[in-house]
Amino acid sequence: MSTNTLLFGVLFILMAIALVFIVRIEIRLKKIFKGSKAHSLEGLIADIGAQVQALNDQGDMHARHLSHHDSRITKLGRGVKLIRFNPFPDVGGTQSFAVAIMNEDGNGVVFSSLYSRERMSVFAKPIVNGKSDIELTPEEQGVVIEAQKDASL
């Protein structure tokens, strides 16, 4: 065998190996560009960058919305407590009640009902910063304190 034939055989094998690598790279690039409008790697990277920026903008928008909703939630009545009691020993049962609805800031309202055989009275008293301008009964004070605890959880 001559040297030229041996050299030609080695070159042929190297070219075949190079062709296999080129085909494999071409297959990989087709997978990368599949479904993409980009015709080059730079275009694909630019498209991905634009999509990432759009996702970041959307994430910022969601963060603003969550912050807004968080501020609104603190103003909602989250703590609700109910107590039933018997204010008049001569009347049987716990027909009277007090209900407090409070937010995280300590604002809300307490509703109470006093039941007796002759009549039933219902009261609503505003609560601002955990206190009311109208005198609260011990039952109302207790239910306001418990509702405030629930609201701050």
What are the domain boundaries of the chain?
A: 3-72, 79-151
Contact 147, 102 (CB under 8 A): yes
pLDDT mean over 4-30: 90
Nearest to 105 by CA among 139, 74, 62: 74
Best-predicted range by mean pLDDT (18-27, 69-78, 115-124): 18-27
Cα separation of 7 and 50, whole Å?
51
pTM of the model: 0.56
User: Is the model more confident about 38 or about 7?
Assistant: 7
Contact 111, 93 (CB under 8 A): no
pLDDT mean over 22-28: 90
Nearest to 125 by CA among 148, 149, 141, 104: 141
Please report the pLDDT score of residue 142 as a whole number: 92
Please report the pLDDT score of residue 63 as a whole number: 93
Cα separation of 81 and 138, whole Å?
14
Contact 150, 79 (CB under 8 A): yes
